[in-house]
Amino acid sequence: MPNYGVLVDIETTGLDPVENVILEIGMILFNRDTFEEVDTFSHVVVNDVVIEHLNHLRDTAEWVKSNLPQATQMGIEGAKFVYEMHQANGLDAHIRQLYAQYYRCDLAQIETAAVEWLKGYHISRKQTEAPAVGSSVHFDRKFIDMKMPKLGNEVLHYRNVDISTLKTLVNWWLPSVKEKRTESLNPQRLHRALDDCRDSLGELKFYHEALFNENVVMKDWS
C-alpha cells in the first residue's frame, strides 16, 4: 500500500469555530514518496445557515468600512478582509448561485462523504494512520474537530503536519533555503480549498527536496 498523506484545507466565514461556519472543505490524497496526487475531495456547504452567515459577513464588512476605528476596538475589522477574500475568489458567488438553483448540501452530508472517501483508501485511526497535512493546519483542525467530529476524531490522526512550521524554521535559520524557496515556488494563494492544498503540496515537496533528501543529509553529516 502506498504511503499516503492527506492535505486538508477549509474556507470559513472567520477565525472562530464557535461563531463562524465552514463554507468549503478540500482534501488531496497524495503519495508521500512521489508527491503525486492520488485523489481529491472537495465540497461547498450550501444551506440556509450558510447564506445567513454570508449575509451577516457582508453587512458587517460594509459597516467596518465606515467605522474602522470602532471596528478595530471591537475586534471585528477582520470581517472586511474575509468578505473581500471570498468575493475575489468567487466562493461567495459560487455558493449563492448553487443556493439559487435549489441545491442544498449540509456539513453533515459532506462529513459522511469525506469519511467514506478516506475509508475507501483504508485511512482511519483503526486502519492506516494519516495526520492532517497543511499550512497552519491547526486552524483547519479546530473547525473540523468541532464541527465534523467523526472526521476529526475517528478518521484523521490526532497529530498534524504543519507546513507553516517548516516555513518559520527556514526563515529563522536557513536564509539560503528561504531564498531558493522564493525562486522555486509560485503559490497561487487563491483561497479556495483545493487550490490552497496544491500550494501546500508544492511547498511540502520543496522542503522534502531541500531539507529531507536522505542522500544530501547523509553526505552533509559524513
Which sequence positions are flagged as catalytic?
Answer: 158
Rounded Cα distance, 135 and 218, in Å: 28
Q: 175-184 vs 163-173: helix axis angle to the nearest 10?
A: 130
Alpha helices in the chain (DSSP H): 48-66, 68-74, 78-88, 91-100, 107-119, 137-147, 149-150, 163-173, 175-184, 193-211, 214-221
- Tell me how far apart the terminal alpha carbons of the chain are, to the nearest angstrom: 33
Q: Hunting for cell 509560485 — which residue is that?
A: 186
